[in-house]
Structure 1
Amino acid sequence: MASRSPAEELDVDGIAVRLSNPDKIYFPGLGENGGRKRDLVGYYRTMALAGPMLSAVRDRPTFIERYPDGVDGDQIYQKHIARKRPEHVLSTPITFPSGRKGDALRPTVPADIVWAANYGTVIFHTWPTRHPDNDHPDQLRIDLDPSPGTDFDDVRRVAIDLVQPLLTELDVTGFVKTSGSRGIHVFVPIEPRWDFIAGRRAVIALARELERRDPESVTTSWWKEERGQRIFIDFNQNARDRSMCAPYSVRRSPDGRVSMPVTWAELADVDPASFTMATVPDLVARREDPWTDIDERRAGIEPLLEMVDRDEENGLGDMPYPPSYPKMPGEPPRVQPSKKVAAHWDEHGNRVEE
């Protein structure tokens, strides 16, 4: 077993944060050449002090994905804030789909991000809400998820040729980022006047319209067996308690890849592999944050809710929730298509009462 390296103390905007075992290898693919714990914590210290990452997570319920033994070790996905923590680390109350209450991390100062990184956090996942109102999202989140047989270029084409024009038609603004893997995330700032159910149904309506416009490339099917080689719009990322990787968050990857905000123009030829915790700080220092005005671009979702109503009139109701959720009002039965008995279902996928 390798010996522990001595702890150090970091000054993070006037707050002392302990860095324990700084030379421990977190990214074996990089080793001592950028893959140590000090490199990860140093990246988050730079990004938190630079401003854009703190702006993205400030006051949001934040779940942390920890790898205390490095990214090849065990994963700890932590929703509840640690009971033992420094005074500067605050919490925010959340309600889970079951009705159970909890308290999540609420970053408010750069030291909170650095403290979490020293705690073994590699990935920061945020809710689409801000403290103290965690019942009304201020973002819709469009997750473009590649299926087997598709790649980033396929996702990119759907984002540029389909998602961006539709958002423009709806008079809302989409802020785009690489997922840090093979996908693309688009965050749409909205007025926090609707609950999670309405927000999720709005994204379902948007996804269905994308599917109608290019059914060969886009699918809304929750069931993997029906997706084929198409880009899945994961509408359930808008359900209560679902969180998404924060902008500028590192991902669990051998090269320390980052989920990177870009402009729509940059997306046209961007290489997601070029964004790592070694390269992103210099890029951030050289240019303005593409998401700098996201909170000023909030809009209503009435046009999307009108699309929801039209779909309902055409027999297209709600879609399945993830299996961990309680049965939701209006939700169709969660039955895998290959296990359905055809005589018991209509053409819209609704169960026919016997």
Structure 2
Amino acid sequence: MAGKSGTPAVELDVGERRVRISNPDRVYFPESGATKLDLVEYYLNVGDGIVNALRDRPCMLHRFPKGLAGDKVHQKRLPAGAPDWVPTVRVFFPRYGRHADELCVGELADVIWAVQMSTVEFHPWNSRRADTERPDEWRIDLDPMPDCPWSRVRRVAGVVHEVLDEFGAVGWPKTSGGKGLHVYVRIAPDHGFAEVRRAALAFAHEVERRAPDDVTTTWWRKDRDPKLLFVDYNQNARDHTIAAAYSVRGVPAATVSTPVRWDEIPDIDPRDFTIATVPARYRELGDLHAGIDDAVFDITPLIELADRERLEDPPDDE
């Protein structure tokens, strides 16, 4: 059967499911010519990794129905027309007084169906369906300001690693798919979003204290030095999401948010990780975040640090 473009659809067996890919030759990334089917094949190649990053988490989708040349859609609700086997979880948005049934990945076929529905980026919550109000993932977002060089990001990553070691926490770094780095820490789901955010703020202040020439925790963007790196603790606020490990980014170069080893960070260039290069790396190294669920950290010492420093929870948006 052909899609609207006249290109025959492709049917793929993904685990025990069959997923139909319409318009497989539609160009999604004009810079490289990568198509919708290329994107599907990328996610198949990193299947265990992307499922590990998304499993049981409410997930917002960044969809590009016409590829990058068209508009981007930020989709919280599951797109219409989903097969009955695609799982969801219901989450509430107090600001709007509404619920949404979001994709909640359980297997690779769920990911591939979302790509069929023009999803390029996957942005999961840091909590899971068992209790969406209690995060089990603390996210450290090293967000460079416009004039911040990559060398500064690398230096700050070293400080982050040092501080995590001192607290006894295992950090799992990855490129952001842009100019920054993310570090994830698995935590026990014993606290709400506000407490996790305060713990993240206390940690950010400690990193700033040790690297004052490189780091800012100034809340308002307009007040930040454009040469510094912002440790964005607000990524731990409720319903704030960032691209998952192994998520492709909706940018012309089709970069990927890629797990890396700590000892690689001094030498890597995040622009080298794309849908064309990451599958070979994955075949060689496997999922570098595969052990994250086995290294659970108790954030109580960071909450106590926030209490001692009388850190107040900042506004929920900039």
TM-score, structure 1 normalization: 0.86
Equivalent position of 2:212 in the other structure: 215
Show the counterpart of 1:59.
Answer: 56
Q: Tell me how far apart the structure 2 counterparts of residues 283 and 149 of structure 1 sit (CA, whole Å).
A: 30
- The superposition leaves residues 44-77 of structure 1 with CA deviations (integer Å, 9 ceiling, x where unpaired) of 12222xx111111111111100001111210100
Match of 1:318 in 2: 313
Q: Are positions 1:227 and 2:196 aligned together?
A: no
- Which secondary structure state, in structure 1, belongs to the residue aligned with residue 18 of structure 2? strand
Counterpart residue identity of residue 32, structure 2: L
Residue-by-residue CA offset, 1:305-335 (whole Å, 9 max, x unaligned): 11111111xxx42222205xxxxxxxxxxxx
Which residue pairs with 1:29 in the alignment? 31
Runs ≥4 in structure 1, deviation > 6 angstroms? none
Once the two structures are TM-superposed, the CA of residue 232 in structure 1 deviates from its matched residue by 0.5
Aligned to 2:197: 200
Conserved? CA contact 1:97–1:240, under 8 Å: no
Q: Which runs of 5+ in 2 are unaligned?
A: none
Secondary structure (helix, strand or coil) at the match of 1:130 reads: coil
Aligned to 1:42: 41
Q: Deviation per CA, 1:171-214, whole angstroms, max 9, x where unpaired?
A: 11111000001000011110000000000010011111111222
Q: Secondary structure at the match of 1:84?
A: coil
Structure 1 or 2, whichever has the larger Rg, is 1
RMSD of Structure 2 on Structure 1 (CA)? 1.4
1:164 is aligned to 2:161? yes
2:46 aligns to what SS in structure 1?
A: helix
Query: Quick one: distance in 1 between partners of 2:280 and 2:168?
Result: 34
Describe how 1:96-115 pairs up with structure 2 within 5 A.
Answer: 96-98=93-95, 100-115=98-113
Question: Which amino acid in structure 1 is aligned with residue 59 of structure 2?
Answer: T
Distance 1:55 1:100 in 2: 29
CA positional deviation for 1:81: 1.4
Which residue number corresponds to residue 141 of structure 1? 139
Q: CA deviation at 1:83?
A: 4.0
User: What are structure 1's unaligned runs of at least 5 residues?
Assistant: 324-354
- Distance across 2 between alignment mates of 1:288 and 1:10: 23
| Alignment check: 8 A CA contact 2:188 2:297 kept | yes
Check if 1:19 corresponds to 2:26: no
- C-alpha distance in structure 1 between counterparts of 2:6 and 2:270, whole Å: 34
Aligned mates of 1:88, 1:42 — CA distance in 2 = 21
In structure 2, what is the Cα distance between the partners aligned to 1:76 and 1:224? 25
1:1-354 residue pairs with structure 2 within 5 A?
3-31=5-33, 35-48=34-47, 51-98=48-95, 100-160=98-158, 162-228=159-225, 229-312=227-310, 316-322=311-317
Report 1 or 2 for greater relative contact order, CA contacts < 8 Å, sequence distance ≥ 6: 2
C-alpha distance in structure 2 between counterparts of 1:114 and 1:139, whole Å: 24
Are the equivalent residues in 1 in contact too, given 2:245–2:259 (CA < 8 A)? yes
Q: C-alpha distance in 2, partners of 1:207/1:287?
A: 30
2:194/2:313 contact within 8 Å kept: no
Q: CA deviation at 1:152?
A: 2.1
Deviations 1:284-307 (A, max 9, x none): 111232211101101111110111
Does the 8 Å CA contact 1:4/1:24 hold for their aligned counterparts?
no
Task: Report which stretch shifted further, 78-87 or 171-180.
Answer: 78-87
Identity between Structure 1 and Structure 2 (%):
45
